Amino acid sequence: MVWCFGFSFESLFPNSSLAIVSYPILKHAYGEVCHQLPSKTFLIGSQKLLVCARCTGIYLGALLISFFSLFFIKKLNFGIKLLYISLAPMLIDVIFSTLNIYKYSKLIAFGTGIFFGSIVFVYILAAIENNFIDKKPEKNG
């Protein structure tokens, strides 16, 4: 949530002095993990987000599924196929738009990103939860 707030901070509070002063720092920090090309970035109001449409999708997907998992997902035991399925649309979109088979679309990038981000978060959460489940018998034994 903090991460998502960081890349949209300047867009959400464009007149805040903190947002303006922190802009160069945040821009560099997010630039480390994203190309930040203006043509591939969403505009909120008149301000660009600090990450591209695909990264926005990935982070928002992870954020949404993290809220969702608090209430609805009880058991995290998915096969590996789901990870491949979530990766495939994003990979296809990257390859096709790079090879100019079709024109880059922010919405497609965002959509494939949100799908991938939400599934990846489930796998990371599963790794953490399984660690605690595995530890329980050790403590009892």
Q: Is 134 in the site for other proteins (CB under 8 A)?
A: yes
Q: Is 15 in the site for other proteins (CB under 8 A)?
A: yes
Least spacing, CB of residue 83 vs other proteins, in Å: 7
Least spacing, CB of residue 67 vs other proteins, in Å: 18
Least spacing, CB of residue 72 vs other proteins, in Å: 20
Q: Is 96 in the site for other proteins (CB under 8 A)?
A: no
Q: How far apart are CA 102 and CA 61, in angstroms?
A: 24
Cα distance between the two ends of the chain = 38
Q: Is 138 in the site for other proteins (CB under 8 A)?
A: no
**Residues pairing with 43 in the sheet:** 48
3-state secondary structure (DSSP) of residue 47: strand
Least spacing, CB of residue 119 vs other proteins, in Å: 10
Per DSSP, the residues of 42-82 read -EETTEE-SS-HHHHHHHHHHHHHHHHHHHT-------THH
Position 28, amino acid: H
Q: Is 107 in the site for other proteins (CB under 8 A)?
A: no
Among residues 5, 35, 44, 68, the one that binds other proteins under rule CB under 8 A: 35
Position 69, amino acid: S
Least spacing, CB of residue 73 vs other proteins, in Å: 15
Q: Is 38 in the site for other proteins (CB under 8 A)?
A: no
Among residues 54, 65, 110, 114, the one that binds other proteins under rule CB under 8 A: 54
Distances (CA, A) of 74 to 1, 68, 77: 21, 10, 10
Q: Give the β-pairing of 47-48 and 43-44.
A: antiparallel
Q: Is 32 in the site for other proteins (CB under 8 A)?
A: yes
